[in-house]
Structure 1
Amino acid sequence: MRDAEDHPSPPVFPAAPPAPLIPHQRAPVEVGQLPPLVLVPGTVPLHLPPPRRRGRYLLAGGALLLVATLALCAGVVYVNRDSLAERVAAAAAEPPSRRTRPLTQSEAIDATLKAQGEALLRGDEKGWLAALDPAQSKLRTKYRLMFKSLRALGVSEFAYWTDEDPESGKNGTVAVTAKAEYCFSTDTCPGEDSGNRPWVSHELTFKSVKERWLITAQTVKKSREEQQPTPWESGDLVFQQGRRVTLIGSRSERKYFKLVMPVAEKAAVVNDRFAGMVGNPQKKYRIYLAGAKQWKTWYGGVTDKWVIAYAMPLNAAGSDVVLNVAQLKNSRQVMTSTIQHELGHVVTLGGADREGGRGDMWLEEGIAEYIGWYPKPATASWRRSSVRSVVQGSKRPKSIAARGLDGDASPAASDAFYGLGHFAADCMARKYGQRALFDFVRLYLREDRDLEPASQEAFGKPFSAVDKACVAWIRERV
Structure 2
Amino acid sequence: MSYGDVDLSKTNNAAPEPPAAEPAPEAPAVELVPAAEPPLAEPLASAAQPTASTLAEPLTPAAPSPVEPVTPAASSPAELVTPAASSPAELVTPAASSPAELVTPAASSPAELVTPASSSPAELVTPAAPSPAEPVTPALPPTVGAPVQPGQPLPVAGLTPPPKRRRGLIVGLVVAFLVLLLEVSTVVVIATGDPAPSAVAAPMATATPAAAPTGPPPSPKPGDSENVRFAWALDQIRTSLATMTKGMRDGNLGAFVKPAADKKVRAELDRRFRSLRAMKVAGFDLSVDSGPVNEKKVGGFSQWNVRVGMAHCFAVATCKPSTAVFDTVWRDSPTGYRMTKISAIEADANGPHPWEVSALTAAVGKRAVVAAPKNYAAKARAFLPLAERAAKTADKYVLGDKPDRYVVYLAGPAEWKKWFGGSEDWAVGFAIPATRTRSDIVLRMEDLSSSYAESVLKHEMGHVATLSGRDYRAHTGDDWWLTEGIAEFIEWDKRGVAAYDRKQSSRRLIRERKFTGNLEKLVPDDDAPDWQIDAAYGLGYYATSCIAAQYGHKKLMTFVDQLLREGRPASVVSDQYLGVPWPTVTKRCFTYTKQKLGV
TM exceeding 0.5: yes
Equivalent residue, structure 2, for 1:340: 458
Using the alignment, how far apart are the partners of 1:337 and 1:433 within structure 2? 24
Equivalent residue, structure 2, for 1:56: none
Q: Are 2:293 and 2:305, in contact at CA under 8 Å, matched by a contact in 1?
A: no
Q: Are 1:358 and 1:405, in contact at CA under 8 Å, matched by a contact in 2?
A: no
Map 1:58-77 onto structure 2 (within 5 A): none
Using the alignment, how far apart are the partners of 1:325 and 1:272 within structure 2? 24
Q: 1:470 aligns with which of 577, 583, 589?
A: 589
Q: 2:259 aligns with which of 112, 121, 131?
A: 131
RMSD between aligned residues = 3.5
Change (3 A) 1:293 1:107: farther
Q: Are 2:543 and 2:589, in contact at CA under 8 Å, matched by a contact in 1?
A: yes
Q: Are 2:7 and 2:427, in contact at CA under 8 Å, matched by a contact in 1?
A: no
Change (3 A) 1:419 1:375: same
Q: Does 1:392 align with 2:511?
A: yes
Q: Does 1:432 align with 2:412?
A: no
Q: Are 1:295 and 1:324, in contact at CA under 8 Å, matched by a contact in 2?
A: yes
Using the alignment, how far apart are the partners of 1:146 and 1:34 within structure 2? 39
What is the deviation of 1:138? 4.2
Q: Does 1:452 align with 2:571?
A: yes
Q: Does 1:140 align with 2:266?
A: yes
Q: 2:534 aligns with which of 408, 415, 422?
A: 415
Q: Does 1:29 align with 2:15?
A: no
Q: Are 2:245 and 2:286, in contact at CA under 8 Å, matched by a contact in 1?
A: yes
Equivalent residue, structure 2, for 1:382: 501
Larger radius of gyration: 2
What is the deviation of 1:336? 1.6
Unaligned runs of 5+ in 2: 25-45, 53-212, 221-227
- Point out the structure with the larger helix share: 1
Q: Does 1:265 align with 2:388?
A: yes
Q: Are 1:48 and 1:76, in contact at CA under 8 Å, matched by a contact in 2?
A: no
Change (3 A) 1:331 1:34: farther
Q: Does 1:321 align with 2:446?
A: no
What is the deviation of 1:233? 1.4
Determine helix, strand or coil for the equivalent of 2:538.
Answer: helix
Q: Are 2:432 and 2:471, in contact at CA under 8 Å, matched by a contact in 1?
A: no
What is the deviation of 1:30? 7.1
Using the alignment, how far apart are the partners of 1:164 and 1:30 within structure 2? 51
Equivalent residue, structure 2, for 1:283: 404
Q: Are 1:116 and 1:129, in contact at CA under 8 Å, matched by a contact in 2?
A: no
Map 1:223-302 onto structure 2 (within 5 A): 224-275=347-398, 278-302=399-423
AA aligned to 2:383 is V
Equivalent residue, structure 1, for 2:334: 210
Change (3 A) 1:472 1:173: farther
Determine helix, strand or coil for the equivalent of 2:396.
Answer: helix
Equivalent residue, structure 2, for 1:199: 324
Equivalent residue, structure 2, for 1:310: 430
Identity across matched positions, percent: 26
Change (3 A) 1:434 1:94: farther
Q: Are 1:172 and 1:208, in contact at CA under 8 Å, matched by a contact in 2?
A: no
> Which whole-Å deviations, capped at 9, do the CAs of 1:352-386 have from their partners, x for residues lacking one?
48954501101001111111222223443332112
Equivalent residue, structure 1, for 2:236: 112
Change (3 A) 1:167 1:220: farther
Equivalent residue, structure 1, for 2:485: 366
Name the TM-score, length of structure 2 as normaliser.
Answer: 0.58
AA aligned to 2:6 is R
Q: 2:219 aligns with which of 102, 127, 141?
A: 102
More displaced stretch, 465-474 vs 164-173: 164-173
Determine helix, strand or coil for the equivalent of 1:210.
Answer: coil
> Which whole-Å deviations, capped at 9, do the CAs of 1:293-328 have from their partners, x for residues lacking one?
3333322334x4333222121242211111122322
What is the deviation of 1:156? 3.6
Matched residues, number: 395
Using the alignment, how far apart are the partners of 1:397 and 1:129 within structure 2? 60
> Which whole-Å deviations, capped at 9, do the CAs of 1:163-216 have from their partners, x for residues lacking one?
4533536544665443222333459758xxxxxx64332242x33332412123
Determine helix, strand or coil for the equivalent of 1:283.
Answer: coil
Determine helix, strand or coil for the equivalent of 2:580.
Answer: coil
Unaligned runs of 5+ in 1: 1-20, 36-46, 50-74, 80-91, 191-196
Q: Are 1:78 and 1:163, in contact at CA under 8 Å, matched by a contact in 2?
A: no
More displaced stretch, 305-314 vs 390-399: 390-399
Change (3 A) 1:309 1:109: farther
Change (3 A) 1:414 1:174: farther
Using the alignment, how far apart are the partners of 2:523 and 2:21 within structure 1? 27
Using the alignment, how far apart are the partners of 1:138 and 1:394 within structure 2? 55
Using the alignment, how far apart are the partners of 1:244 and 1:413 within structure 2? 34
Equivalent residue, structure 2, for 1:10: none
Q: Are 2:245 and 2:256, in contact at CA under 8 Å, matched by a contact in 1?
A: no
What is the deviation of 1:157? 3.9
